[in-house]
Amino acid sequence: MPTSAEKFISDNGAKVHDRVRIEAKDLTYEGLILPKNNFSKDDIIVIKLDNGYNLGVSVENAKLTILAKAEKKETSIQNKEKNKDLPNISILGTGGTIASFVDYKTGAVSPAITAEQLVNSVKALDQVANVSAEPLFSLASEDMKPTHWEEMATKVKEIHDKNNHGIIIGHGTDTMSYSAAALSFQLSEISNPIILTGAQRSPDRPSSDAHLNLVGAAKAAMSDLGEVGIAMHESTNDTNVAIWRGNRTRKSHSSKRDAFISTNEGPIAIVKEKIEWKSKYKATTENTTLKAGFDSKIGLVWAHPGLNIEDWENMTSGKNGIVIAGTGLGHINSELIDHIGKTTKDIPVAMSSQCLSGSTNLNVYRNGRRLLKCGVVETHDMLPETALVKMMWLSKHHPNNIQKKMSENIAGEISNSRKLN
């Protein structure tokens, strides 16, 4: 049985954060010993090299030499003495790349770091706020479910009522916009900011965007922003963080650090040393109100050439509502329109657009007018994913008024203009 990395470190009189030299397989490495993460194999020791990269090395037949002892043991943030001159904020961990490490056996990125470890790794936060960290769950964001959105909102309400300060939610970027939209509908009035942030690259990589995003999110969490925001890099450079309106934002790039954009509008603010507000926003209120929960039996149908009647029937069967992501101004195959009309007699059907700018407008073309006549409701410039989350929420809390409210702006999800140009 191979020697464990922890035993190897202990047998050589070393500890985490000591600077060491490791000789293995005719190669020599120098760096700081990092804490073991949950996805590293038992026989892998991870060190941070001088160039900023982390390296996993098998301890089998390896030799370790201590070059310098760690100066100070890391203090738990729960036990840190608070700076009376700084405000307090909370960070809730839900998983995602921002809370991940590279598995040095496979090269894959996996959730492995706690909310507290993440905060401790960002020393600049000490100069911004007193931070408390709490894990909610550790999930890749593609595994999020409506029940998780409900749990997040309930926890936010609890913290706002008890501690009366802003909250950062660390979240995977792939479905961050869904969660932001879900929070915006469940928490229509908030006493303190709610800022979601994440990372396109894990915190143990030199090119990670996690640290800047967290600091930017912290500054936004101390403002009077009474909306759910998303804090991510403004550009590919490590300079500024953009604050986006959560329910109008989409991840538009799979890997770039400035991956997020909003439909028909720019960011609410840019965070530099201070926050520069770029547009009007809803301010915080005295209390946080909560209407939690969703109807998960709502479907999202993506219009495309070849979509047929059988497809429509299969996709809508057993659903309590349907959101169509239509082409252009809100279109779908004309042969489906009569069947869509039959569907609207039983459940609500809403039309959104796949486009990232502009708006739906079913009055322009004949087929659009046919859709209106058969009971399809427009969602204007609401993103399809936001429209899906909104209908899920409405079906739970306003089941008899879905058609009317889908076309109304209730949480900032619809802008005031079509912006057709």
Helix axes 366-373, 337-344, angle to 10 degrees: 20
Residue 342 sits in a domain whose CATH number is 3.40.50.40
- pLDDT, tens only, 10-51: 999 999 889 999 999 889 999 989 877 665 678 999 888 887
Identify whether 331 is part of a domain: yes
Which CATH number characterizes residue 114's domain? 3.40.50.1170
Indicate whether 19 and 149 sit together in one domain. Answer: no
Is there a single domain that holds both residue 273 and residue 307? Answer: no
Q: What is the mean pLDDT of the chain?
A: 88
Judge whether 288 lies within some domain: no
Smallest CA-to-CA distance from 374 within 402, 410, 349, 357 is with 349
Q: What is the mean pLDDT of residues 314-334?
A: 97
Asked, for residue 356, whether it belongs to a domain, the answer is yes
The residues that bridge with 269 in the sheet, in sequence order, are 243, 277
- Same domain? 179 vs 261: yes
Provide the token pair at 57.
């090395």
Here the CATH number for the domain that contains residue 36 is 2.30.30.520
Residue 404 is predicted with a pLDDT of: 95
Q: What is the mean pLDDT of residues 346-352?
A: 98
Tell me if residue 288 is catalytic: no
Looking at 277, 309, 326, the residue that finishes a domain is 277
pTM attached to this predicted model: 0.82
Is 33 in the same domain as 124? no
Specify the amino acid at residue 59. Answer: V
* Residue pLDDT, tens place only, 355-399: 989 999 999 999 999 999 999 999 999 999 999 999 999 999 999
75 falls within a domain = no
Q: What is the pLDDT of residues 212-266, one digit of tens each?
A: 899 999 999 999 999 999 999 998 888 899 999 999 999 999 988 888 999 899 9
- The answer to whether residue 80 sits within a structural domain is no
Active-site residue, from 94, 173, 249, 360: 173
**48 & 105 share domain:** no
271 and 309 belong to one structural domain: no
Stated as kind and residue range, the H or E segment containing 75 is none
Which of 219, 251, 390, 396 is flagged as catalytic? 251
Based on the fold, state whether residues 207 and 343 are members of the same structural domain.
Answer: no
Widest distance between CA atoms in the chain: 79
**Environment class of 173 (CB within 10 Å of its CB; exposed 0-12, middle 13-18, buried 19+):** buried
Q: Please give the full DSSP string across 156-210, using - where no structure is assigned.
A: HHHHHHHH--EEEEE--STTHHHHHHHHHHH-SS-SS-EEEE--SS-TTSTT--H
Do 117 and 225 lie in one domain? The reply is yes
pLDDT tens-digit map of 64-110: 999 999 876 545 545 567 888 899 999 998 876 554 555 544 444 44
> Which one is catalytic: 94, 97, 175, 360?
97
Residue 174 DSSP class: T
Give the position of tokens 């916009």. Answer: 177
In the residue annotation, 50 being an active-site residue is answered as no
Nearest to 290 by CA among 387, 156, 412, 411: 156
In the residue annotation, 145 being an active-site residue is answered as no
Whether pLDDT at 127 is above 90: no
Residue 371 neighbours by CB distance under 10 Å: 28
Whether 23 maps to a domain, the answer reads: yes
Is 418 among the domain residues? Answer: no
Full domain range(s) for residue 318: 298-406
Answer whether residue 114 is part of any domain. yes
Residues 107 and 195 in one domain: yes
Which candidate in 103, 174, 204, 209 is catalytic?
A: 174
Give CA–CA dist 42/20, Å, rounded: 19
In a shared domain, residues 164 and 209: yes
Same domain, 262 and 366: no
Q: Which of 268, 178, 179 is nearest to 216 (CA)?
A: 268
Q: Are residues 131 and 238 in the same domain?
A: yes
The last residue of a domain, from among 225, 242, 277: 277
Indicate the number of domains in the chain: 3
pLDDT at 80: 63
CA distance 69 to 14: 8
